[in-house]
Amino acid sequence: MAATHSEYRGYLRNTVDIEAAQHRFHPAHSSEPTYRPLLFGTLAVMGLLQVASSVAILLHLTGYLQEVDLSTAPHRPIEEVQTEPVLNALRDTRKNRRCKTPKESLPSVHLPIKRPQENSKKGKPNAILIDWDEEHGYRHRMGYQKGKLLVMESGFYYIYAKTCFRYYKDGPVENSHAEVPPVDVSNTQLIQYVYYESIKQNSKSVMLMKTGSTMRWNDTSYNMYCAQQGRGVRLDEGDALYVNVSNAWMLDLEGEGTYFGAIKLGN
């Protein structure tokens, strides 16, 4: 019984010691709520200070750059500062593209057919030179004389020609030659030739182009045919260009259908 009583007293003592120990640790647990708000507050203040300092540095740098730009800009009128780049761009464009004014444009000519054709007689199939209407055409830095285009500047040219032929028994072409007996148009050659006279070859005629067709027309109905051609060729100053056609009495005398021209493409 004595041993049992001593064990019971030991148990009571151990329980009291444990409770005393727990009471000693209570002050430590009670201090935790005090430090946590302080820590969060410190972090929030530091974050606000960092944001404020970043904004202040950004504003300072922006103001500094603006100040440098304004101080280094030349003191000139606003209009001059704004228009100078445009003027420089235009100068560069003119130098690179070499835009030409009308006075500097390339030689060219475009002439419609002249009416009437003095050398055209009904029923004559031989090829004759066409006369062109200088008064109602266009000519720039090229000459013209008696049906021939005259080259005034050496270079590479594009030459073009178009001739239209028409026939109908009761039409104006037929009436203008009423005194001549009717001709057979059932097998008619309508050929267009383009020549040039070379000054280097003592004005010898050289054929540049040839086109046409043999038409089987009906003399009781309206008939029409057009021949058109063009090509580039090197020409020298003093050369001449002209067009010959067969059966010129059938030529359509409208300038929109029959014309002759040339334009210089380069040197």
How far is it, in rounded angstroms, from Cα 232 to Cα 138? Answer: 20
> Would residue 63 count as lying in a domain?
yes
Is residue 142 located within the same domain as residue 88?
A: no
Domain boundary residue, one of 75, 97, 119: 97
CA triple 256-259-264, angle to 5 deg: 125
> Would residue 23 count as lying in a domain?
no
For 34-48, the pLDDT digits (tens) are 667 777 777 887 877
Is residue 262 located within the same domain as residue 138?
A: yes
DSSP state of 119: T
- Which tokens is 84 given? 């100078």
| pLDDT the model gives residue 62 | 58
> Would residue 136 count as lying in a domain?
yes
| Mean pLDDT over the full length of the chain | 76
Is residue 89 located within the same domain as residue 125?
A: no
89 burial type by CB count under 10 A (0-12 exposed, 13-18 middle, 19+ buried): exposed
Q: Which residue has the tokens 């007293």?
A: 9
For 125-149, the pLDDT digits (tens) are 788 999 999 999 999 999 999 999 9
Is residue 41 located within the same domain as residue 62?
A: yes
Domain encompassing residue 219: 102-266
> Would residue 224 count as lying in a domain?
yes
| pLDDT the model gives residue 176 | 45
How far is it, in rounded angstroms, from Cα 199 to Cα 204? Answer: 7
Is residue 151 located within the same domain as residue 260?
A: yes
How far is it, in rounded angstroms, from Cα 124 to Cα 127? Answer: 8
| pLDDT the model gives residue 14 | 54
Is residue 161 located within the same domain as residue 37?
A: no
| pLDDT the model gives residue 177 | 45
Domain boundary residue, one of 74, 97, 120: 97
| pLDDT the model gives residue 33 | 56
Residue 186: pLDDT band by 50, 70, 90 thresholds?
Answer: confident
Across the range 86-104, mean pLDDT stands at 51
How many domains does the chain divide into? 2
> Would residue 121 count as lying in a domain?
yes
Is residue 56 located within the same domain as residue 188?
A: no
Count other C-beta atoms under 10 Å from residue 19's C-beta.
Answer: 10
Is residue 165 located within the same domain as residue 262?
A: yes
Is residue 45 located within the same domain as residue 109?
A: no
Torsions phi, psi for 75 (to 5 deg): -85, 85
Is residue 120 located within the same domain as residue 233?
A: yes
For 103-129, the pLDDT digits (tens) are 568 999 999 999 888 777 776 778 899
| pLDDT the model gives residue 30 | 47
Across the range 246-265, mean pLDDT stands at 94
Domain boundary residue, one of 69, 97, 125: 97
> Would residue 50 count as lying in a domain?
yes
| pLDDT the model gives residue 31 | 47
> Would residue 10 count as lying in a domain?
no
> Residue 240: enclosing H or E segment and its boundaries?
strand 240-245
For 234-249, the pLDDT digits (tens) are 999 999 999 999 999 9
Q: What is the CATH number of the domain that holds 258?
A: 2.60.120.40
Is residue 91 located within the same domain as residue 106?
A: no
Is residue 81 predicted with pLDDT exceeding 50? Answer: no
Is residue 251 predicted with pLDDT exceeding 50? Answer: yes
Which residue in 185, 139, 137 sits closest to 165, CA to CA?
185
For 194-221, the pLDDT digits (tens) are 999 998 888 889 999 999 999 988 878 8
Across the range 222-233, mean pLDDT stands at 95
Is residue 63 located within the same domain as residue 136?
A: no
> Would residue 7 count as lying in a domain?
no
